[in-house]
Amino acid sequence: MSIVIITGSSGLVGSEAVNFFSKKGFDVIGIDNNLRRFFFGKDGSTLWLKSKLLKNNKKFKNFSIDIRNFNSLDKIFKKYSKHISLVIHCAAQPSHDYGKNYPIIDFNVNATGTLNLLELTKKYCQEAPFIFMSTNKVYGDNPNRLKILEKKTRWELKKTDKYFRGIDENFSIDDCTHSFFGVSKTYADLIVQEYGKNIGLKTVCFRAGCITGPNHSGAKLHGFLSYLVKISLKNKKYSLIGYKGKQVRDNIHSNDLINCFWEFFKKPRRGEIYNIGGGRYSNCSIIEALNLVEEIANISIKRNFIKIPRVGDHIWYISSLNKFKKHYPNWKQKYNTRKIIGEIIESYK
């Protein structure tokens, strides 16, 4: 028996990981108590996906445990200790707005929950790689200080700019506004690194841009592309918040991301960090995303422009994938933004 523990197993990344590692022959232990419904209401609930996972994967078990509860987690890790081959930590409070309104819950879920899992990995399964889903929000709003130019449908950098191909892992995380969510995830990111570099666990932080795909339970406060497609199809209108709707996001499909996990699992490192996202292969502005939905779904979408941006929002962000590709040259991207949006639209039919 070879066990993979996945937190947030009914979320976008977690569910993709459940399916992937189940097909690889692993026994998968999911830890997910549907806290997304508590955060975001009915739209954020992942119960539909948990039911689907249990139905389709005979080697999958789900435990409704809160990652803030150390004692409950301890029982799981103790029970499966010598069989745990991998820990994938995807569970989080993922919203800027929610984090600002409820900073104690935000910190306890994102920071304390991560620390709990690291301690238990150290205690029961030190040789198991520990994969942490971090975020590009560790860089705060520092990307907004780049020399960004306004184009017709997006903000953009000159092709000669140092960061045109994407922001790398040496980009500063200091002296900026992060959002409360960004701060709690930064703590988690740094402590994951510390358990690798200081203690010697096989840890990695994937600092993601926008992760997406048809399994995303997109809600107003989180899940940009999924929510945009869902609301556009349902209401034929969408609100663009700040920066004229020209802010640029890179989009990585959850399947492409899980294949990153697989490459790391086969050849783990200690205390590593990778910026991961769609990169130059898969990115769009909000306006460009709406244009694609209109084109693919053959609909017209009314646009409501809101001038005041969200605190800490990025005007332009594209991930540099150079470091990860250098360390893991066998990894290939399969999904660009058009293909991703087309797949999400198809899932609503």
Domains detected in the chain: 3-347 (3.40.50.720)
pLDDT of residue 218: 58
pLDDT band (50, 70, 90) for residue 94:
confident
Per-residue pLDDT of 23-61, as tens digits, reads: 999 999 999 999 888 887 887 788 888 999 999 999 999
- For 112, 234, 283, 290, 348, the CA distances from 299, given in Å and listed in that order, are 45, 11, 22, 10, 14
Contact (Cβ atoms closer than 8 angstroms) between residue 240 and residue 285: no
pLDDT above 70 covers a percentage of the chain that reads: 98
Tokens of 333: 């991207």
**Segment 335-346 mean pLDDT:** 95
Mean pLDDT of all residues in 64-74: 97
pLDDT surpasses 80 at 145: yes
- Spatial separation of the C-alpha atoms in residues 177 and 180, rounded to whole Å: 9
Label residue 16 by pLDDT band (50, 70, 90).
Answer: very high
pLDDT tens-place string over residues 168-218: 999 999 999 998 999 999 999 999 999 999 999 999 999 998 999 887 655
Kindly report the number of other CB atoms within 10 A of residue 93's CB atom. 25
Rounded Cα–Cα distance for residues 259 and 331 (Å): 7
The pLDDT confidence band at residue 220, using thresholds 50, 70 and 90, is low
- Alpha carbons 213 and 122: distance in angstroms, whole number: 33
Per residue in 280-316, pLDDT (tens digit) is: 999 999 999 999 999 999 999 999 999 998 877 899 9
Could you identify the residue written with the tokens 């799981």?
76
For the entire predicted model, the pTM comes to 0.93
Burial of 42 (0-12, 13-18, 19+ CB in 10 A): exposed
The Cα 290–Cα 233 span in angstroms is: 10
Q: Which residue has the tokens 């690889």?
A: 24
pLDDT at 235: 93
The CA-based dihedral angle spanning residues 20, 282, 155, 288, taken in that order and rounded to the nearest 10 degrees: -100
Q: For residues 84 and 124, is the Cβ–Cβ distance under 8 A? A: yes
User: E strand or H helix at 323, and its extent?
Assistant: helix 322-327
Mean predicted lDDT score pLDDT of the chain: 94
The vertex-317 CA angle with 312 and 318, nearest 5°, equals 155
Of the candidates 233, 238, 204, 338, the one whose C-alpha atom is nearest the C-alpha of residue 278 is 338
Are 275 and 327 spatial neighbours (Cβ–Cβ below 8 Å)? no
